[in-house]
Structure formats: structure tokens, C-alpha cells
Chain A
Amino acid sequence: AQSVTQLGSHVSVSEGALVLLRCNYSSSVPPYLFWYVQYPNQGLQLLLKYTTGATLVKGINGFEAEFKKSETSFHLTKPSAHMSDAAEYFCAVHNAGKSTFGDGTTLTVKP
């Protein structure tokens, strides 16, 4: 069984500030972890993924995430928020083809 918990359904930051979106997971096997971004009325866009190897993974648009097994976490960060980062973000764990998603975090970026 696998599950994902995203802490904070809404996160608001000022433009230029640090973005931190939290994700904790539960998985019975070594997890494959993903972050996706979804803009209104659009599909999912893959930001980054962790499968094996380096625990700090870099993705598109300046995002990165660190896999911490001891904390069962995979938090998403970006050093400096941009207005275009405002969207819905989903953390997901993947196993045997199935993806289990967190409830999502809405990121708002204030000018």
C-alpha cells in the first residue's frame, strides 16, 4: 500500500521568496516519487522525479526536491518564486504503474 500526504493545501509566498511545498509518503516498497504541476484546465506536467541514486533531484523551472528516507519526505523547493509558479502542485508515489497522489497544494505568488 502507498499513500501521500501534502501538508498545507494552500501556500502563499511573495515573488522572489523561497517556495517550500511539503510531501510525506508511505510505501511498502522503495518509492518512486514525483512532483507534478497543474495549471488551470490543463493536464499534469512533470517537474521532477526520484527513482534511485542521488537523493537531491533537480527539475524544471528551478525546482528541486530531496528524498529523505528517514523522514519519509520528498519536499519541493525553489529558491525564488516567480509569478508564473502560481499553480496546483501534486506529489505522487508510483509503484507497479499506479500513481497515488496527494491532495495537492495551491501555490499563490504575491507581487
Chain B
Amino acid sequence: GAVVSQHPSRVICKSGTSVKIECRSLDFQATTMFWYRQFPKQSLMLMATSNEGSKATYEQGVEKDKFLINHASLTLSTLTVTSAHPEDSSFYICSATKARDGRDTEAFFGQGTRLTVV
């Protein structure tokens, strides 16, 4: 299989500060990574699609200036929550698909990051 590593697994930050979450594909190259958010007792909702070397594509209703996404290499995408507020507290999960496999058949998920803003 393919391994996606997310770091950190848990983070607590003060309101108004910024937090960076990393998503790495450990044993494959991923031209595309995806960021999801999961509120308690809810499903995963796609926030944005991250393409290596280009700007991320955000889903409707997701503030691109608040959730900064950088995909600088084929193995790393980062999500920065800027000026975090308690309502940003959530579980953030990334996924990655293998590069140049034609029609990809599966996304590989990281283990998630629990963000708590106090």
C-alpha cells in the first residue's frame, strides 16, 4: 500500500495564532492532495484540492485566506490555519493520490490532526 503521514496528530493553540499541519506521502509521489475537515459526530467534508506547483482549489464556503495550502513538492502539502478561532477546532485529514497512474482508483488518507483552539 501507500503511506500518508500527517503531523502533528494533535495540536492546541491560542485563539488568534496560526497553526501549520503537514501531509506527506512517504513512499509515492502525489501530484494531488486533498484536505478534509470533520466536525464532531459529522462526516468528512472536502475543503480544498492541492496541486503540486499550483494554487489550491477551494470548495465553496471555505475561506482561502484563512486556510492556506501549499503543495511545494510531490510529497508534501501543508495546511495553515491562520488567526485560528475556537470555531476552527476540528479534525483535519489529508489524502493523496498517486501521480501519473492514469485514472487513480484510491486515495490514501493520513491519520488526521485534532486541532483545538482555546
**Residues of A near any B CB (own CB < 8 A):** 32, 34, 36, 41-44, 46, 49, 51, 90, 94, 96-104
The interface residues of chain A lying within 8 Å CB-to-CB of B34 are 97-99
- Determine the main DSSP class of A at the interface with B: strand
**Known A-B contacts A99-B34, A99-B95, A104-B43; A94 and B107 likewise in contact (beta carbons under 8 Å):** yes
Q: Is B49 interfacial (CB-CB < 8 Å)?
A: yes
| CB within 8 Å of A: which B5-49 residues | 6, 32, 34, 36, 42-46, 49
Who on chain A is nearest to B51 by CB?
A97
The interface residues of chain B lying within 8 Å CB-to-CB of A99 are 34, 36, 44, 46, 95, 107
The interface residues of chain A lying within 8 Å CB-to-CB of B104 are 96-97
Q: Could you tell me if A32 and B111 are in contact, using CB atoms closer than 8 angstroms?
A: no
Q: Could you tell me if B42 and A43 are in contact, using CB atoms closer than 8 angstroms?
A: no
Who on chain A is nearest to B10 by CB?
A41
CA distance A94 to B112 in the complex (A): 19
CA distance A36 to B43 in the complex (A): 12
Q: Could you tell me if A101 and B43 are in contact, using CB atoms closer than 8 angstroms?
A: yes
| CB within 8 Å of A: which B29-77 residues | 32, 34, 36, 42-46, 49
**Known A-B contacts A97-B49, A97-B97, A98-B49; A41 and B114 likewise in contact (beta carbons under 8 Å):** yes
Q: Least Cβ distance of A60 to chain B in Å?
A: 12
Q: Could you tell me if A94 and B106 are in contact, using CB atoms closer than 8 angstroms?
A: yes
**Candidate in B42, B43, B49, B103 with the most chain A CB atoms within 10 angstroms:** B43
The interface residues of chain B lying within 8 Å CB-to-CB of A46 are 109
Q: Could you tell me if B109 and A44 are in contact, using CB atoms closer than 8 angstroms?
A: yes
Q: Could you tell me if A42 and B112 are in contact, using CB atoms closer than 8 angstroms?
A: yes
